[in-house]
Copies of this chain bind each other. A is one copy, B any other.
Amino acid sequence: MTSLIQATDATLSREPVDLVLTSGERPSTPTQTVLIELGDRSYPIVIGQGLLGKANTYATLPPAASAFVVTNTMVESLYADALRADLASRYAKVHCVVLPDGEAHKTWQTLNLIFDALLQHGCDRNTVLFALGGGVVGDMTGFAAASFMRGVPFVQVPTTLLAQVDSSVGGKTGINHPLGKNMIGAFHQPLLVVCDLDTLDTLPARELSAGLAEVIKYGPIYDMDFMAWLESHIDALRACDRVALAHAVRCSCEIKAAVVGADEREAGLRAILNFGHTFGHAIESGMGYGVWLHGEGVGAGMLMAAELSRRLGLVDAAFCARLRALVARAGLPVRAPVLDANDNAGRYLELMRVDKKAQAGEIRFVLIDGPGKAVLRTAPDALVREVVNTCCAPA
């Protein structure tokens, strides 16, 4: 596999970062750039502090008459003014639409608010959309950009850890359907991704933990050295240490970029990024979107996938315990929820069969084939039922 990442800065070595934190002292980190190489759809991810409030963050964007900021009620009050001020120096008109907050609103109805506002403001094919918020805002803005007039440019300004490490790489955009998550969408690459680490200060601890689930997954599927680094720095990450966050975001983006670069349209390899997601989506959908956060479903889902890997003889119990300990230290639930008191395993199976990775009703699990390596395969229903029963059992 060719690496599709280009380090544009000498600070971009993947060497572990050692941190010595003194109480009250907050180490700072220089701005770093990861270039996602996708031919004429290549784009940079800029990672650093204080990026909101610097107009020259957007200096490389093509000129246009108008910018259109999409955000949600929560993020709007915190960061919309700063972004609008940054953009005002570059665009004659800066419009803004504020969506309701949360996964439950990742629907066509909410998406239509974006289309309504774009048309009411007379936006055209050159208007640049800016997604200011978490994964929900990013996914919906990206899909709106993919579909409005059959495609307009957009920029991601992710303000959650989850969005910074996950949604910002890969070009996946979309909305949920009552019968399945992310069932309607498009592949549409942004022009630029701006990860301002300072925005994570205002992120609720529960959402920071949810973001860590998507960071942790890169260890088991791809890079056990990164997993070891996470085990040493999980507390620093939860404390929003900038140097640790910068390293975690950069490594996550680099690993994801390497995988996505080799398989942009998810024909094969890219599916390994869904480690924990098959079970996780069932949890999210079964509980009702928004009850469990996406990252929480992935956290518990990774442990279920690891347990299934173990029962298939692919990893040992020690690996499962190690992953479970890290997930717990990240502040994530380690026990999966009961979705149906009468036939819980049956309900999980039913929900997983409508997963996008399923083919002709056959569930394809992302499993760990020895630490640091993932594999896509099916499993007997009976074994999956055992895993569900084990992982949903009371402690």
**Is the CB of A185 closer than 8 A to any CB of chain B?**
yes
A115-B177, A177-B115, A186-B186 known; A356+B122 contact, CB < 8 A: no
Is B185 touching A147 in the complex (CB atoms < 8 A)? yes
A226 to B31, CA, bound (A): 60
- Chain A window 113-148, contacts with chain B (Cβ cutoff 8 Å), 1 for yes, 0 for no: 001100110101110000000000000000000111
The smallest C-beta distance from A123 to any residue of chain B, in angstroms, reads 10
Residues of B within 8 A of A124 (CB): 356, 358-361
Is B354 touching A265 in the complex (CB atoms < 8 A)? no
**Is the CB of A377 closer than 8 A to any CB of chain B?**
no
A150-B185, A265-B151 known; A177+B119 contact, CB < 8 A: yes
Residues of B within 8 A of A182 (CB): 150
- Chain A window 174-215, contacts with chain B (Cβ cutoff 8 Å), 1 for yes, 0 for no: 100101101111110000000000000000000000000000
The smallest C-beta distance from A126 to any residue of chain B, in angstroms, reads 6
The smallest C-beta distance from A167 to any residue of chain B, in angstroms, reads 14
Is B119 touching A354 in the complex (CB atoms < 8 A)? yes
Is B115 touching A184 in the complex (CB atoms < 8 A)? yes
* CB-CB nearest in chain B for A118: B183
A187 to B183, CA, bound (A): 18
Residues of B within 8 A of A112 (CB): 108
The smallest C-beta distance from A114 to any residue of chain B, in angstroms, reads 10
Is B183 touching A119 in the complex (CB atoms < 8 A)? yes
Which A residues, 76 to 115, have Cβ-Cβ distances below 8 Å to chain B? 108, 112, 115
* CB-CB nearest in chain B for A179: B119
Choose among B126, B150, B354, B359 the residue that contacts A174 (Cβ–Cβ < 8 A): B150
A146-B186, A185-B150, A186-B186 known; A120+B179 contact, CB < 8 A: yes
A125-B356, A179-B120, A360-B124 known; A186+B108 contact, CB < 8 A: no
Is B150 touching A186 in the complex (CB atoms < 8 A)? yes
- Chain A window 228-256, contacts with chain B (Cβ cutoff 8 Å), 1 for yes, 0 for no: 00000000000000000000000000000
Residues of B within 8 A of A120 (CB): 179
Is B148 touching A184 in the complex (CB atoms < 8 A)? yes
Is B147 touching A184 in the complex (CB atoms < 8 A)? yes
Is A151 touching B186 in the complex (CB atoms < 8 A)? yes
**Is the CB of A65 closer than 8 A to any CB of chain B?**
yes
Residues of B within 8 A of A325 (CB): none
A174 to B186, CA, bound (A): 13
**Is the CB of A353 closer than 8 A to any CB of chain B?**
yes
Residues of B within 8 A of A265 (CB): 151
Q: A115-B183, A125-B356, A150-B182 are in contact. List 17 more A-B contacts (CB 8 A).
A: A65-B359, A65-B360, A66-B360, A108-B108, A115-B177, A119-B179, A119-B180, A119-B354, A122-B353, A124-B361, A126-B359, A147-B147, A149-B356, A150-B185, A150-B356, A151-B187, A151-B265
**16 A-B residue pairings within 8 Å (CB atoms):** A65-B359, A115-B183, A115-B184, A116-B179, A119-B183, A122-B353, A122-B361, A125-B359, A147-B174, A147-B184, A148-B183, A150-B172, A150-B173, A150-B185, A151-B186, A186-B186
8 closest residue pairs by CB, A with B: A119-B179, A65-B360, A149-B356, A150-B185, A147-B184, A124-B359, A122-B361, A150-B187
